[in-house]
Chain A
Amino acid sequence: MTLHAAIVKIGEKKISSDEAKKFILSNENGAESIFVGRVRNENSRKKVTAVTYDAHDQAVIKSFHSICNDAKSKFDKSASIFLEHAKGYVPVGEISILIAVSSGHRDEAFKICRYILEEIKHQSPIWKKEHYAEGKEEWLPGHSLRPKEEIK
């Protein structure tokens, strides 16, 4: 198996870079690229305490598989990919997304990692609600999946 893609419900399991590293380890792949996204404490000059991630689980998993398989076809068919995204309340400093890739060469490993991250932002039905130090919370704007020509 060269692909692992999952939504991780906070409280049930932790996203682990050790698990990711173990999964992508391969004697054929000499390059590894790992991206770890964490919740940061500031956005648009507001002090953030946590982010709640919501997701349409089935559609997200479908999109993860499609994105990762596209990435492999484009850059390296032998690549191993580990991808997990958090769902639920994630405090500042905790991991929200982890992408780990092993590939034959460094260029492909970097490219696959970057490609997956950018495509998730445009294809995977995941939403963020920021929680602020002042007590307020706000759903963040995003990218519409409705065809542009339909939006008047």
Chain B
Amino acid sequence: MKIQLKLYGSSKLLSDKEILNIELPKNSNIETLRNALSKIISEKYLKDKLQNLSKTSAFFSEDDEVINNKYKLKDKELISIIPPIGGG
């Protein structure tokens, strides 16, 4: 299955595009997505800049609700990654 990850903040270092398509095994959840992200960060040699991104980020569903690790992802679902925030 594939999910679309909408990038915000520091996660934009992962791609020049706003959305990163990620291939995941069937029946994946947010925990699986976190593991896949860690792998992508290593592969892109971004560990020094995004060391804790997969661990510290929250994820929003399409209706902007925070979703936890057990949330089951659907094929082609659009998820937003919310790295640690710091506005104001």
User: CB within 8 Å of B: which of A105-152?
Assistant: 117, 120-129, 139-147, 150-152
Please state if A143 and B68 are interface contacts (CB–CB under 8 Å): no
Q: Is A54 an interface residue (CB 8 A)?
A: yes
Interface contact A124-B56, CB-CB below 8 Å: no
Q: For residue B56, give the distance in angstroms from its CB to the closest CB of chain A.
A: 4
Chain B contact surface mostly: mixed
How many Å lie between the Cα of A150 and that of B66 in the bound state? 13
Q: Are B87 and A146 in contact (CB under 8 A)?
A: no
User: Which residues in window 35-88 of B have CB below 8 A to A?
Assistant: 49, 55-58, 60, 64, 66, 68-69, 80, 82-88
Docked pose: A50 CA to B48 CA in angstroms: 23
A145 to B81, CA, bound (A): 11
Number of interface residues of B (CB under 8 A): 23
Residues of A within 8 A of B85 (CB): 121-127, 142-143, 145
Question: Across the interface, which residues of B come within 8 angstroms of A60, CB to CB?
Answer: 87
Report A's interface with B, CB cutoff 8 A. Answer: 37, 53-56, 58-60, 62, 85, 96-97, 117, 120-129, 139-147, 150-152
Name B's A-contacting residues (CB within 8 A). Answer: 8-10, 12-13, 49, 55-58, 60, 64, 66, 68-69, 80, 82-88
